[in-house]
Structure 1
Amino acid sequence: MLIRGARAGDVAAIAALHAASWRTAYAGMMPDEFLDGDLPADRLAVWRERCAAAVPPGLFMAEDGGELLGFGYATATPDGRVLLDNLHAAPGRTRAGIGTRLLGTVFDWAAAAHPDRGVYLEVLQANTPAIAFYERHGGIRTDTRTAHFEQGFDLPEFEYSWPAGFRLH
């Protein structure tokens, strides 16, 4: 498995994997009409916007033989932290070490690019497999709140955090 920085030509594949991951991981959590709708176009619009000027430096891909296995995306935020906004393995490829490798890459990138900033993420409270994954990898629950989706629904979420310079061992 190769972990590399994303390139402009990767946007469509990232968006497709993102949509497929949401449909699998969030079934029963997010409204069916949203997940069953034109989610691929929705995610493609998001990734085209994020990568319009240039591919963000915190966007990483896991691949094997040219097949996209997963991706992770982190970005510095105005509050002085780094947000791990996306961490997805392809459906059917979870529990294969992809998420761990991507998470480690994001932590390494954050420690090098933003050494004084901690990393945090937001995870739906109903996403117990992801919560268990983050806790196994040192995440500490630091907040509880409601996620407001622009598509018109709200879901309870947790925030998990890691200190500045955190590395996976």
Structure 2
Amino acid sequence: MITTIRRGTARDAGAVAALHAESWRTAYAGIVPAEALGDGLAAQRHEIWELRLTVDYGGPETAPELLIAEHGGAVVGFAYLVPQPDGRVLLDNLHVRPGLTGGGIGRGLLDAALAHIAARHPGADLYLEVLSANTRAVAFYERAGGLRTAAGEGVFPGGHLLPEYEYTWPRGERAPEEVPAAGQSRS
């Protein structure tokens, strides 16, 4: 599947929110309490993405970046990067449409995120937090060169505390095999 990766805009909020909710319901079923994945999830995700994509963050050093993976004009995945005060960049979300995982879309988004950080935040580490019970995601991040750098608990909607891991890609220690520039195709 040839996927194009581009920068996201406020126009993508609805598609990203719908994919985010669908991905949570699929990936977190049996891991997260059912009420956190219930009827209000889609509306909650839509509200969050509308806000995230319309706020003025003050400049490129502090502004988050949304990367969109498209196939045939449809959003099939996304990654959301958030610069942190400690100089690192948080990969706050990386989601691929359920049914399309395992086909390289997630790896393309991760590689594009690393390329974005190298260009926009040279020397910054990329890190993320993943639920430890999300074994498919944990395996993906480890295959992609992520180093487990911490373990703790994350707060999920409804105040649920769930065990999670932190994975880090220190700059200079992992060079992506093939890094497409935003807007270029990746097969």
TM above 0.5, one fold? Answer: yes
Relative contact order (C-alpha < 8 Å, sep 6+): which is higher? 2
Give the aligned length. 169
Structure 2: segments with no counterpart, 5+ residues: 58-62, 178-187
Alpha-carbon contact 2:64-2:83 (below 8 Å) kept: no
- Counterpart in 2 of 1:63? 70
Rounded Cα–Cα distance in structure 2 between residues aligned with 1:66 and 1:17: 14
**Cα displacement (A) at 1:53:** 2.6
Deviations 1:78-125 (A, max 9, x none): 111000000000011100110000000000001110012101000000
Alpha-carbon contact 2:123-2:171 (below 8 Å) kept: yes
Rounded Cα–Cα distance in structure 1 between residues aligned with 2:118 and 2:65: 12
Q: Does 1:27 align with 2:29?
A: yes
TM-score, normalised relative to structure 1: 0.95
**Cα displacement (A) at 1:57:** 5.3
Alpha-carbon contact 1:63-1:69 (below 8 Å) kept: yes
TM-score, normalised relative to structure 2: 0.86
Alpha-carbon contact 2:66-2:78 (below 8 Å) kept: yes
Deviations 1:116-142 (A, max 9, x none): 210100000001100100000100000
Rounded Cα–Cα distance in structure 2 between residues aligned with 1:59 and 1:77: 15
Rounded Cα–Cα distance in structure 1 between residues aligned with 2:37 and 2:26: 9
Runs of 4+ in 1 over 6 A off after TM superposition: none
- Give the AA of the match of 2:170: P
Rounded Cα–Cα distance in structure 2 between residues aligned with 1:95 and 1:128: 14
Structure 1: segments with no counterpart, 5+ residues: none
Percent identity, please: 51
Alpha-carbon contact 1:8-1:54 (below 8 Å) kept: no
Secondary structure, counterpart of 2:148 in structure 1: strand
